[in-house]
Structure 1
Amino acid sequence: MKINKLNEADLTKPEYRDGNGFIVEVIRTARRKSADIRVEEGAVSVVVPEATTVERIDQLLLAKREWIIEKLTRQREVAPISNKQFVSGEALPYLGRNYRLKVTTGVFQPVKLLQGRLVLQVPEGRQQPHMIRNALVRWYKHQAGVKIRQKVRRYAPLVGVEPVSVTIKSFKSRWGSCTADGKLEFNWRILLAPNRMVDYVVAHELCHLIHHDHSPAFWRELARVMPDYQECREWLKLNSGKLQV
């Protein structure tokens, strides 16, 4: 079963550079021969060959600074409306529980779940709320990669299927998808829901490896694997709009 296949951004432990107004996640990988700068959901990352020097990375970021700022501005304008202020003490959901945010000021440190709190450190400045949100999104995406792959390993034998790969993505209006060639894709935001909802989404997409539609046969298969799926489906219909960071 090839469900351990990771996104390219998951291949190595990331490092960070301060872009003077934005934080850049640096991912080193042996699979690339050139650099690739990405701006997704208001977060900047650069994927580079393993041996790329820090000086070279900084040169690339400086050369692309105007383009990065423009992309960040556009993405923030269309970002989902959130009632979060991204300050210490604020509650954030994760697998059915709320965790308090703890923000300190200094050199950027990514989010960690410590003693029941989501702890991170960011530089001072007017961009601080954006940096905090971006750091939280990165953390949720990483956790999704871990938790969802664990659940795929658990449910795939029950369904009797072998997905080609599992990828974590950002979707606007769906929780997952199953491609015609057997690849599963999941929305990281499902980790904002209770744990059982994650089970439902994983089982749902795995069943699509057998039935590629929502026919009665598909729902029977899902009910066999997860008898309470209707409750989960209804919960997501009622609450999906609230699952935002």
Structure 2
Amino acid sequence: MNVMATKPEYRDGNGFIAEVIRSPRKRTADIRVEDGAVSVVVPTELSIERIDSLLKTKRKWIKEKIALHREKAPVSGRQFVSGEAFSYLGRNYRLKVTKGNFAPVKLVQGRLLVSTPEGSQQPHMIRNALVRWYKRQAILKLTDKVDRYAERVGVKPAAIEVRSFKSRWGSCTQRGELHFNWQIMMAPNQLVDYVVVHELCHLLRHDHSPGFWKEVERVMPDFMQRKEQLKEYSTLLTL
């Protein structure tokens, strides 16, 4: 099963923080702006100087993409300040913000800790840091859950990826790849399990026919209750 989970580095792009992900499969650098968060996937041995130069060259384009995301993003009411609660697997954790050089989010003793420079960009940097944290947790937790349920479903997915979707929690491709919305990590564990089983069963049936739902019920007899609960939670799982 193919899962990308390399240890990230971070570079200050003067107004944004870029996550650097080194991959032996990459031959050229690839800059991405997703959910307002900047990442650059690069070959394993590419130097920090070359990465900084690339970010500087593309700075205008990156800032435009970030601004476009902010314009289109729905207003969540979040302030991204110390004491604010964020849900992870159905439990609320308080955010603790310290000023200083950027440091990625860590969950320590029931608190989400993050360090960022002060200034007008701080709330956006904190949000982006949280997005990155949720995505990395999603890779770890969803991989574990897929491994646990795949045998019970009777399938072997080709790959697992975490993505951003506007109106769905997951998808299954004809090639057997499972894609999950990182925001599902805000939902309670039992609802995350339902999404995993749902997508795994699509490896047996690529539709929502009665036969498909019978496969889901075989593995998860109370799936209908979980499905309805997920609908109720859907408007709350935003960042």
Q: Same fold (TM over 0.5)?
A: yes
Which deviates more from structure 2 when the two are superposed, residues 229-238 or residues 135-144?
229-238
Map of 1:124-135 to 2, 5 A cutoff? 124-135=118-129
Corresponding residue to 2:3 among 3, 6, 19 = 6
Moved over 4 A (4+): none
Give distance in 2, aligned partners of 1:220 and 1:44: 41
Q: Quote the offset at 1:53 in angstroms.
A: 1.6
Letter in 1 for 2:78: K
For residues 106-143 of structure 1, the C-alpha deviation after alignment (integer angstroms, 9 at most, x for no partner) is 01000000000000101111000000000000000000
Q: 2:174 is paired with a residue of what secondary structure?
A: coil
| Distance (whole Å) between structure 2 residues aligned to residue 47 and residue 153 of structure 1 | 26
Match 2:24 to one of 19, 24, 30: 30
Aligned to 2:9: 15
Matched, 1:155 2:149: yes
Question: What SS does the corresponding residue of 1:236 show, helix, strand or coil?
Answer: helix
Instruction: Output the TM-score relative to the length of structure 1.
Output: 0.95
Which aligned pairs between 1:107-186 and structure 2 lie closer than 5 A? 107-186=101-180
Instruction: Describe the superposition over 1:140-187 as per-residue Cα deviations: whole angstroms up to 9, x where unpaired.
Output: 000000001111111111111111111111110001111112111111
For the 8 Å contact 1:87–1:101, the answer to whether it is kept is yes
The answer to whether the 8 A contact 1:80-1:244 is kept is: no
Q: Structure 1 vs Structure 2: percent identity of aligned residues?
A: 64
* Partner amino acid, structure 1, of 2:31: I
Match of 1:64 in 2: 58
Please state how far the C-alpha of 1:37 moved relative to its aligned partner: 1.2
RMSD: 1.0
Letter in 2 for 1:193: A
Aligned pair count reads: 239
Deviation at 1:212, TM superposition (A): 1.3
In structure 1, list runs of 5 or more residues that go unmatched.
Answer: none
Instruction: Compute the displacement of 1:228 (Å).
Output: 1.0
Offset of residue 56 of structure 1: 1.4
* Residues 1:199 and 2:193 are matched in the alignment: yes
